Chains A and B, each alone.
Chain A
Amino acid sequence: MKSTRLLLLSVLFILLLNEPIITLVDRNELLLGIPVLYLYVMVVWMLLIGLLAYVIHRATPTDDPLSDDD
């Protein structure tokens, strides 16, 4: 279960940080004083770290020690 969640997380963010989605923010504009592309990448990156920590530490205590290995 933990492995599946982590795999999905990886796939989701690979999509968010690649073509074609990244092209949507590839603009020569500033948002909050920061180029839109930079802001987007940094925010998504932070989101990934946060979700990763959440998935790992939420899963650890409840995970069945046997299914842990699969």
Chain B
Amino acid sequence: MTSLPLILCSLLYLAVLFVIADRAERRGSATGRSVVSNPYVYALSLAVYCTAWTFYGSVGKAASEGIEFLAVYVGPTLTAPLWWLLLRKMIRICKRQGITSIADFISARYGKSRGLGVLVTLFCIIGIIPYMSIQIKAVAASFATLTGQAHAPGAFFFSDRAFLMTLLLAVFAILFGTRKLEATERHEGLVATIAFESLVKLVAFVGVGAFVTFGLFDGPGDIFSRAAQVPALRETFQFGPGHSTGDWFWQCLISGFAMLFLPRQFQVAAVENVDEKHLNKAMWLFPLYLFVINLFVLPMAFGGQLLLGASADTDEYVVSLPLRNGQLGLAVLAYLGGFSAATSMIIVETTALSVMISNNLVMPLLLTRNRWQQRWGTRPGPFVLNVRRLAILGLLLLAYLYYRIVANRLSLVSVGMISFSAVAQFAPAMIGGLFWKRGTRTGARLGLLTGSSVWLYTLILPTLVPTIFPQSVLTDGPFGIDLLSPIHLFGLRQYDSISHSAFWSLLVNTGFYVWGSLRQPQQITDVNQAVLFVDVFRIDRSRDIPVVWKGTSLLTDIRGLLVTFFGEQRADYILDRYTRRHQLDTSQPFADPRLVAHAERVLTGAVGAASARILVASVAKEEPITADEVIQILKSSQTLLAANRQLTRQSTELQQLTRQLSDANELLKTADQQKDEFLSTVTHEIRTPITSIRALTEILYDDPDLDATTRQRFLSTIMRESERLTRLINQVLELERIESGRAPLQRTMVSLNELVKEAADTVRPLATDKHLLVKTSFPLEPIRVNADRDRLMQVLINLISNAVKFSPDQGRPIDINLFSRADTCTVQVIDRGVGIDPAYHDQIFEKFYQAQANGVRKPKGSGLGLTISRTLIDLHGGRLTVDSEPGRGSTFAIQLPLPQPEPVDDSVLSSNGIIEH
């Protein structure tokens, strides 16, 4: 086949892609029903993962090493279930923050750090350029195979087909990738094209595979049984002899990371995602795609080896197998499949990288220069687009150069894996940033720097060995230090170069990320962004977007900023929509902080987080936010709550205090009143006998001729009243002494049986006068209490004589019962007199109660007897109570505690650890 028809074929294919892209964009903007808004298209667009490397390189690697090539596809399949945790969060954050590239993502997560954005962008360029170069190599090689020309690139740039191909791809990528400024607006044409190309890849590869397996052989069984006859091929049925346990694992791991963190994967998976729900289907459709496209790799590799021997390039089996068997059409389809794989990879990769370059390298640099503002300030929008176009061209030229100088000497797979392990360096900062709030800018920077240094040292340096460095660096180590050999660092010889590098670089990277993060306190913007990223789902749900922004910005300035980048119409649309949706007040000259934050987000979509920050800062008079303020904002609600709680507690305490005070006041008042009452009662009580004594003595004094009988009667009254007066005064004094504690009890062991008997005997003459019986009943065993004998006697006599007093003449007997129950003993004094209304049961124990009592039980004593009795019993730790009803007599009961039994003996106490002597 000659070159011309194949070139025409390629151009025709590109034209078809153009039509698809154009229709997709028109349909998206005209009807609003986007072709891209579809889980199948989303899953197919993810298959941009399968590049020309997959298409050609898999077969090449399978031919030499057997199943190991599969690690690159098994890895993403094994991590696919985790997309629900990882990718969904990334998608949500990108949408909320207007993030358009992985560099922007990492920069935004760690406090909108410009330095990190630059670092990630540069590292992406270094890591991905080789990868792009192998696409050029693959297309050029397959073109050469198909046209039967030599593989070596032409001597002169413009006569080299690969160079022309590069320029063509650059034009194509520019046309697709830089149509609109706002990278957050989806590239619908781009995505539709990629999805289409993924279908072409799949059909072409499976077509060729099926042809080889079933057309040239009798199915896979035939191929494998024939291969089993060849010892060299039979060896690859297993992991090779050089295979170590770790290789497969590490290659799976970095492939899993690459699936998410390669710039093009991030672009299609996170930035271009229309609906998070599409993930549901993509999570199993994408692994299925990988499975199907790899189904025929091994049969094709063994078939190629069996049919073509060692003469043909193993990377070219997909084209050369049909070609040599007279299937030109199938060979062209295979070529187009590979071409599809290469173009889609290059378009998406360069688009993603150009956005990174303009947003993270060029714009922040220019925005801080004053002269730029004057020169380009009027039309930065087109300027940004031009930067991106130039970036795409520059990247492809670099890739071409790399292809000419380096990649031509290496197989497709080894170059691809170098890129994979490069982007794996983003994993600690990315995954840490998604789930660990404490991860900081310093940690991310340290991790990335050290990890990528190890990557450079262990993977890139060896590729430069005969050219720049002497061979001895690999064999003897630098400066003859064997342990530092780049391919066997610290003597680790079991792993292949990719796994070896992946292990050391990721170990160092993760270690420094964690150490750097924990080393010093986080900065303010760091904290704020960490919360916005890690808690993105929670914040979304609460619809509470914390805006930690302080300062004033004129509405016209914000509008001006948007107009400069998006034009008047679009700027007004953005502002109006936000204002309407959040019902903001636009009559004020100053913009609402939320509007400013929104404008920054929109600008982030266009120029990146770090640049947007600079732009907004340039028109806003921002007051620097201090750590205290942020902490206050974040904790204000907590502080309020705490303060509230404290106030509540204090007021409760104060209320309690007030209540105690008023209680005490009441007590005081009552006591004061009682004192008054007591005084008036005492004076009344004293005045009564004094008055009668005085009256009688006056009569006797004034009337000396009184008859002897009357005189005798008067004198006896005076004597009785004087005695009463003395008794009264004695009792008042005694009560006062008892209550003030100046009359302590003289306790001894007292037999109650004897005491009650004695008291009854003392009172019995009084009872006999009234013809009353006093009956006592005791238990046989004497009851002994620890008490003041005289005081107790006084109480008993008082109670018994009261009972006599209130019993009618010749009434029923007075009963005195003594008994003990549990740890108390009781003395009951029962009379069958008039009784007391229960309403007065408490009052009869009060001082001088009888003064106010209305004839219920008119006392004949001082009115202090019961008061003193109760006080004395209280002092003994007992109780004096009354049970009575009018007309049924009364029962007064003294309850006294019985002495406690002897304490337990010493041995028991000492076994409990208490030793007493």
Q: What interface size band does chain B fall in?
A: 35 or more
Q: A17-B74, A17-B78, A38-B298 are in contact. Are A28 and B237 (CB under 8 A)?
A: yes
B58 to chain A, nearest CB (A): 14
CA distance A9 to B78 in the complex (A): 9
A7 adjacent to chain B (CB < 8 Å):
yes
Given A32-B221, A41-B74, A46-B291, the answer on whether A7 and B238 have CB atoms closer than 8 Å is no
Specify the chain A residue showing the minimal Cβ separation from B218.
Answer: A33
Residue interface bits A13-48, CB-to-B below 8 A is 1, else 0: 110011110110011111011111110011001101
CA distance A14 to B287 in the complex (A): 15
Q: B81-89, B264-272, B374-382: which one contacts chain A? A: B81-89
Determine the chain A residues whose CB is within 8 A of the CB of B239 once the complex forms. 26, 37
Closest A residue to B541 by beta carbon equals: A69
A30→B226 CA distance, assembly (Å): 11
Interface residues on A, range: 35 or more
A26-B239, A53-B284 given; A34·B84 CB < 8 A:
no
Indicate if the CB atoms of B225 and A69 lie closer than 8 Å.
Answer: no
B548 at the interface (CB under 8 A from A): no
Task: Give residues in B with beta carbon < 8 Å to A.
Answer: 67, 70, 74, 77-82, 84-85, 219-222, 224-225, 228, 234-235, 237-239, 245-246, 248-249, 252, 280-281, 283-284, 287-288, 291, 295, 298, 537-538, 540-541
Are B82 and A6 in touch, CB under 8 angstroms? yes
Q: Which residues of A contact B77 (CB under 8 A)?
A: 13, 45, 48-49
CB-CB under 8 A from A26, the residues of chain B are 238-239
Cα-based distance from A14 to B252 in the complex (angstroms): 9
Bound CA span A6–B137, Å:
39
Nearest 3 Cβ contacts at the A-B interface = A33-B221, A6-B81, A35-B237
Closest A residue to B83 by CB, please name it: A6
A33 partner residues in chain B, CB cutoff 8 A: 219-222, 224-225
| C-alpha gap A27/B283 in the complex (Å) | 32
Distance between Cα atoms of A53 and B39 in the complex (Å): 14
The reply to whether A34 and B79 form a contact with Cβ atoms under 8 Å apart is: no
Closest to A59 in B: B280
Provide the bound-state CA to CA distance between A19 and B247, in Å.
10
Beyond A3-B85, A55-B81, 8 additional contacts (C-beta under 8 Å) are: A10-B81, A18-B248, A20-B245, A35-B237, A49-B77, A52-B80, A52-B81, A56-B283
Which chain B residues border A23 with CB–CB below 8 Å? 245
Q: How far is the CB of A43 from chain B (nearest CB, A)?
A: 11
- What chain A residues lie within 8 Å of B221 (beta carbons)? 32-34
Asked if residues A45 and B291 are in contact (CB atoms below 8 Å), the reply is: yes
Q: Do A37 and B67 contact each other (CB < 8 Å), given the known contacts A22-B248, A26-B238? A: yes
A36 to B238, CA, bound (A): 9
A49 touches B287 (CB 8 A): yes
A–B complex contacts, Cβ < 8 Å, 5 sampled? A6-B81, A9-B81, A33-B225, A52-B284, A56-B280
Q: How far is the CA of A56 from the CA of B280 in the complex (A)?
A: 6
Q: How far is the CB of A56 from chain B (nearest CB, A)?
A: 5
Q: How many Å lie between the Cα of A28 and that of B240 in the bound state?
A: 11
A45 near B74: Cβ-Cβ < 8 Å: yes
Query: Given A10-B82, A52-B283: A70 and B537 within 8 A (CB)?
Result: yes
Closest to A54 in B: B284
Question: Which B residues are CB-close (under 8 A) to A41?
Answer: 67, 70, 74
Specify which of B78, B219, B239, B281 lies most central, judged by the most chain A CB atoms within 10 Å of its CB. B78
A7 touches B291 (CB 8 A): no
Chain B residues with CB under 8 Å of A56's CB are 280-281, 283-284
Residues of A within 8 A of B245 (CB): 19-20, 23
Given the complex of chains A and B, what is the CA–CA distance between A36 and B78 in angstroms? 21
The reply to whether A35 and B74 form a contact with Cβ atoms under 8 Å apart is no
Report B-chain residues with C-beta under 8 Å of the C-beta of A37: 67, 237-239
Q: Given that A28-B238, A45-B74 are known contacts, is A10 also in contact with B79, CB under 8 Å in the complex?
A: yes
Given contacts A19-B249, A48-B78, contact A34 B224 (CB under 8 A): yes
